[in-house]
Amino acid sequence: MAMEMVATSAVSLRAHRSNSFLSNDIKTTRGLFPPSNLTRRRLVMTLDVKQGDNMVELKSNQSGTQIPIDQKAPTFVENFRVDSPDVKYGENEIETEYKYDTTELVYENRNGSNSKQWYVKPKSVVYNFKTSTRVPKLGVMLVGWGGNNGSTLTAGVIANRESMSWPTKEKMLHANYFGSLTQASTVRVGSYNGEEIYAPFKSLLPMVDPNDVVFGGWDINGMNLADAMDRAKVLDYELQRQLKPIMESMVPLPGIYDPDFIAANQGSRADNVIKGTKKEQLRQIINDIRDFKDKTKVDKVVVLWTGNTERYSKIVDGLNDTSDNLLAALDRNESEISPSTIYAMACILEKIPFINGSPQNTFVPGLIELAIKNNTMIGGDDFKSGQTKMKSVLVDFLVGAGIKPTSIVSYNHLGNNDGMNLSAPQTFRSKEISKSNVVDDMVASNPILYEPGEHPDHVVVIKYVPYVGDSKRAMDEYSSELFMGGKSTIILHNTCEDSLLAAPIILDLVLLAEMSTRIQLKAEGEENFHSFHPIATILSYLSKAPLVPPGTPVVNALSKQRAMLENIMRACIGLAPENNMLLEHK
């Protein structure tokens, strides 16, 4: 099937039931045609995505059995290639020339006018992207591996890899990656015979298969992963029973424990800790990463913090304000260097991507400077999973609709170890800050609604209720002002299965972090290709308080974050941003 700009295998298409074609829905565990059953009459079609005039067209380059008259056109392709003179598929990389269209504003006098005026100027910049298609064997090391998130994610990946199924009182369940942006969402790639065509998000660029990920990590508690899974009480018993023989041999490495940074109630769990000075602890983390990479034979490692929320670190001149001062403070064994900062320092010095999944200020100024100097990826902060994700959608909708939110009150209670740790005021403060700032950019975007300095009242409450376990309850009240003095109140109740929401987000973070390390770019006028900025804004969609480079606007609106991530990946294969104009149908 060697054809110009065509994928190496025929594309499977999702179909609807047709009495003249098959008597039953055509589906497998992935919802696609099973080739073994449809060898004689399957639909075979190879599709190109053709780029031109900001439109995407999918072409059929291979004729197979014709679609019956009453058979609806396909709406899903498993994979595709882009047919464009600006895109070159090589043996080990994809090269793309991409025109980035944006606008800039100027405020000036023109045509002899005595007054200045704002002018919006369209601007185009040509970028070249180069993406390696060599997908590595990936190792993921989790700080807090034995916690609810770490044990749930590890169990979920094993269950998917082994195609596990288990009965519940409602029905038979099968392992899946629901909740994962990369594994369970789709993107529009064009149209075919008047029908919108979608493809898996993961088909945009070559990505690591999560079933191939090798897990390891640290925990201040030495319980093996099977017992940790049982302690978490997240997964169904029948599934745990199948997973236990595989997971009971997985034991976390000793972790860094500093009781000054987390709640005192965590002390009883701390039976697996690294002794010594902070510098000795950093050296041990570096050795652990090297040993893990050597023993597992992985090509790359990504480290992610999913441990306890720490209190905020004090920013002190001469201690953590510059990279040199931070390294010197480590030598002096300064007490204000947090465990999460030590893990991040170790990763940066080893040029290993580090992601912070908790709300504390791990990335003190000196650490950010160290990452930039070493050109090592860092990302965070805090997983955006349940209540905050809803908030970033709803407030964006309200402000975008010209409705003025005036009060946002968010209440949570949960009973897992995260809730227990957050019951301490100093650790709760870290979470309160990350949850409260999520609406700032949306409010700032509309000065028609808000006067300078005006902001909705925003209160966040978190309480520890052991009985509910991992099944976090979130209740929100949104008060808004409407037309001509009217008022609106929206009340939401959200039961967030905390770890089942967080686990696929962790997976997305590490997969996207690895993928972005294989992307290089250069703008017109630049001589050499370079990687993205070490501060990974590409991960913002998954972060409650996105870390951005100095001078970069912070964007929290969920739709904008999703569009940014998708459109950057589209640019890497020469596709225009998805603008939803559909002018061809207007």
The residue with tokens 């992601």 is 355
**Signed CA dihedral, 452, 456, 457, 463: sign only:** negative
Q: Find, among 265, 250, 251, 246, the residue nearest to 221 by Cα.
A: 251
Look at residue 499 and give its three-state secondary structure: helix
Query: Any residues with CB less than 8 A from the CB of 23 and at least 6 apart, and which?
Result: none
Strand order in the sheet with 47-52: 81-83, 47-52, 55-60, 186-192, 195-200
| Residue 395: both structure tokens together | 């407030």
Pairing of β 172-174 and β 87-89: unpaired
How many whole angstroms separate alpha carbon 144 and alpha carbon 308?
7
Q: What is the set of active-site residues?
A: 382, 431, 472, 544
Nearest to 43 by CA among 19, 67, 59: 67
For 177, list phi and psi in degrees, rounded to 5. Answer: -115, 35
Extract the tokens encoding 296: 């597992």
Burial classification of residue 41, based on how many CB atoms lie within 10 Å of its CB (0-12 exposed, 13-18 middle, 19 or more buried): exposed
**Cα gap 185→562, rounded to integer Å:** 11
Residue 467: count other Cβ atoms within 10 Å of its Cβ: 7
Q: Work out whether strand 300-305 and strand 138-143 pair parallel, antiparallel, or are unpaired.
A: parallel
3-state secondary structure of 304: strand
- Side chain identity at residue 532, one-letter code: F
